[in-house]
Amino acid sequence: MMEERCRRFLAVRTEAIMKRRGLSRPEAEREAFSHLVVEFLNLTHPNADPARCAQCGGPGSQNDVLLPIGVGARHTWLHGHCWESWRARRRAEVEKELAQFGIVKPVELEAAS
């Protein structure tokens, strides 16, 4: 089950980061969370129509070419200027999905006093 896999990933990764990098648990948990988001993004990377931008739906043109963003054999095609917003949207979608499992992004640490 996906939720269990995510929790196991976080637990294992947090321990590994603490051990390897000597970080505190809250720091390691934040790091592990961002690794989980990347794993999830890679796992769900869409294979999209090469003739359309996955963000705005527009076609490529000579002055505004579509660039392939790939993971393995799967590619998504985007205008250079659409990439940032596409990535932000995908990241938000993944974080929303994880939140449904009760896995939320650890809050930023307070500045040490």
Rank residues 26 and 59 by Cβ distance to Zn ion and give the closer one: 59
- The residues binding Zn ion (CB under 5 A) are 53, 55-56, 79, 82
- Least Cβ distance, residue 72 to Zn ion (angstroms): 23
Residue 93 CB, nearest approach to Zn ion (Å): 17
29 token code pair:
């948990």
With both helix axes pointing from N to C terminus, report the angle between 2-21 and 25-43 in degrees, rounded to the nearest 10: 130
When the beta carbons of 57 and 102 are compared against Zn ion, the nearer one is: 57
Mark out the alpha helices in 22-82 (DSSP H runs): 25-43
Number of residue whose CB is nearest Zn ion: 53
Using the minimum distance from each CB to Zn ion, give the nearer residue, 56 or 99. 56
Residue of 61, 57, 41 whose CA lies nearest to 49: 57
Supply the minimum distance, in Å, between the C-beta of residue 83 and Zn ion: 8
CB neighbourhood size of 101 (10 A)? 14
